[in-house]
Amino acid sequence: MKTRLFSTIFAVASLAGLAVAQRGNTVRVSTQVRDDAGHAVQGVSVKYYGPFGGSDRRSDFSNSTGRNGFADQDLMPGRYLIVAADDYQGFGSTTVDVTERSNDIRADLRLRRTRRPTIQFVLMSDDRNEPISNAEIEVFTNETGKRDLIRSRPNGLTTYEIPGSLSGGRFDVSIMSRDFDTVNKSITFRPRTDTTSMVYYVQMRRKTRLDDRSNPTRYNSGKLDGMIRLTTKNQIEVGDVAHINVGLLLSETRNGRGSAVSTVNISGPNGAGLNSDVRNVSLSLNDYANEVYDVRTNVPGVYTVRVSAVLTGSTGVQNAHWDSRFNFTVQPRNGRNYPQDQNVAKGDYVGNADIETDNSAIASHILSITLANGDRSIDKVKGWLSPRRGAGFHIQFEGTFDRSNNRLDATGKMMDREDKRWDIRVTGSPNRSGRMEVRLSIRARDDSYNKTFTFLLEKN
């Protein structure tokens, strides 16, 4: 049973305590993480990036905190960036110098909450694994068509705050530095709370470095990357023409130019084929080769764009392929702003799952929620968690279901017979069959219990 369910999303968290003990050629670093109130936090993911200047390969280690908030990691001497995460408690960051001395080092640092979900960029050089400062990071938000430009900080860590109008989605990122090859990536980020952060680690290749690998053919062939985005308005309704931009990019090559074969397939709801295209594409180093496809939308639902591309003359070479898929939703002409294929109806939803109680016993519980009318696209949510039989958790909660992004978010509180206080959080979203996939987190305020469970709720 997992003590805490957290996304692959990592937030940068504060180092709360260090104890160093010699382990041969490595040093054991014990990291304690506390929340803003000073309580040790269990289940926090902790990552160590480094040592700076000590390797020509990506070097990162990950661990998670136990009940006392500690995570242990054996590290070689050197400087490290320490990153830890909690979806609800926040994040922070620090660097630490690991030496061969055996005396204890103590510190007390804490997690900090954020106003909005964030993407934390960690930029390192590929030859020395050193932080890259003053690099330009351009973030294009597909849903809004907005471009934001930020610069990396001296420690290589830079924060990008998700715009207030979004709850996540797809972001096309271009990272540029005078001394390094440009990096272009597409990032999908689905935050669970406002304090959720995703850590995106990038090693950038230095332009002046000669290739020292045993297979120069692979380097000369280059690396193929790409992007798919909508160039039309954010909300597409039936009858609109959706303009889809497909771009391919060549990087990591000395030749400066190349060519690829690109296959594009566009399908509508229920898999109906709408457009298919195969063409030869001429590529220039670090420049996008773009093509726009126009799709007339005749029915509401989810449309899918699939792109497969391969560098010509590079059979069997790693990074010679790029494959991607992009979905967009077409609304009916009434302007409603949620995916129609999910058909989330108001009413009662019920499901059950086995839950580990605070005395380590396993008891089957029922989770039930009711979606009721609310204001605009926000539905009110009420619900109960109760044991099927015998003892267990009895907690009532309430919250909202936001139809604009199909997100359920509700909280509740309980005080048991021993005056012990409990908090509950229910989050989730519907799947394509109309069922509700829900995560239930139960935490004792004294931190003696903190666990997450998964339910599948059906319409009653």
Tabulate helix, strand, coil % of the chain (nearest 5).
5, 55, 40
Of 306, 336, 366, the position where a domain reaches its end is 336
At 55 the pLDDT is: 54
pLDDT interval class at 148 (50, 70, 90)? confident
Average pLDDT over the chain, rounded to whole?
77
- How far apart CA 373 and CA 331 sit, in angstroms, is 21
At 208 the pLDDT is: 53
pLDDT, tens digit (0-9, with 9 covering 90-100), for 168-203: 888 888 888 878 888 888 888 888 888 888 888 888
Note whether residue 199 is domain-resident: yes
At 39 the pLDDT is: 87
Residues 314 and 353 in one domain: no
Higher pLDDT, 444 or 165: 444
Note whether residue 396 is domain-resident: yes
User: How many residues are present in the chain?
Assistant: 460
Residues 172 and 62 in one domain: yes
At 20 the pLDDT is: 42
From residue 319, alpha-carbon distances to 93, 175, 203, 315 in Å are: 33, 19, 16, 10
pLDDT interval class at 13 (50, 70, 90)? very low
- Token code pair at residue 454: 């998964």
Mean pLDDT over 360-378 rounds to 79
Residues 166 and 299 in one domain: no
Residues 288-312 as b/e (b if ≥16 CB within 10 A, e otherwise) read bbeeebebebeebbbbebebebbbe
**Residue 6 predicted with pLDDT over 50:** no
Note whether residue 380 is domain-resident: yes
Residues 244 and 154 in one domain: no
Percent of the chain at pLDDT > 70 equals 80
Note whether residue 360 is domain-resident: yes
Of 318, 336, 354, the position where a domain reaches its end is 336
pLDDT interval class at 7 (50, 70, 90)? very low
Note whether residue 282 is domain-resident: yes
Note whether residue 168 is domain-resident: yes
Q: Which of 9-23, 238-252, 266-280, 363-377 has the lowest mean pLDDT?
A: 9-23
pLDDT, tens digit (0-9, with 9 covering 90-100), for 251-282: 877 777 888 888 888 888 877 778 888 888 88
Tell how strand 236-237 and strand 321-331 pair up: parallel
Note whether residue 210 is domain-resident: no
How far, in whole angstroms, is CA 74 from its chain's centroid? 27
Residues 96 and 164 in one domain: yes
Residues 324 and 351 in one domain: no
Domain with 48, as residue range(s), is 20-204
Mean pLDDT over 314-318 rounds to 59
What lies within 8 Å, CB to CB, of 189 at 6+ separation is 9, 117, 119, 162, 168, 169, 171, 198
Note whether residue 407 is domain-resident: yes
At 302 the pLDDT is: 87
pLDDT, tens digit (0-9, with 9 covering 90-100), for 387-433: 887 778 888 888 888 776 677 888 887 766 667 788 888 888 887 66
Tell how strand 20-23 and strand 26-32 pair up: antiparallel
pLDDT, tens digit (0-9, with 9 covering 90-100), for 103-137: 555 656 778 888 889 998 989 887 778 888 888 89
Residues 147 and 24 in one domain: yes
Residues 250 and 324 in one domain: yes
Mean pLDDT over 368-390 rounds to 80
Of 169, 204, 239, the position where a domain reaches its end is 204
Preceding omega of 51 cis (within 30 degrees of 0):
yes
pLDDT interval class at 36 (50, 70, 90)? confident
At 144 the pLDDT is: 72
Residues 242 and 99 in one domain: no
At 18 the pLDDT is: 47
Residues 49 and 187 in one domain: yes
- How far apart CA 31 and CA 169 sit, in angstroms, is 32
pLDDT interval class at 341 (50, 70, 90)? very low
Give the 3-state secondary structure of 61-120: EEEECCCCCEEEEEECCEEEEEEEEECCCEECEEEEEECCCCCCCCCCCECECCCCCEEE
Number of domains in the chain: 3
Residues 199 and 241 in one domain: no
Which domain CATH number covers 95?
2.60.40.10
- Token code pair at residue 379: 């539905």
Which candidate, 445, 456, 452, 249, places its Cα nearest to that of 367? Answer: 456
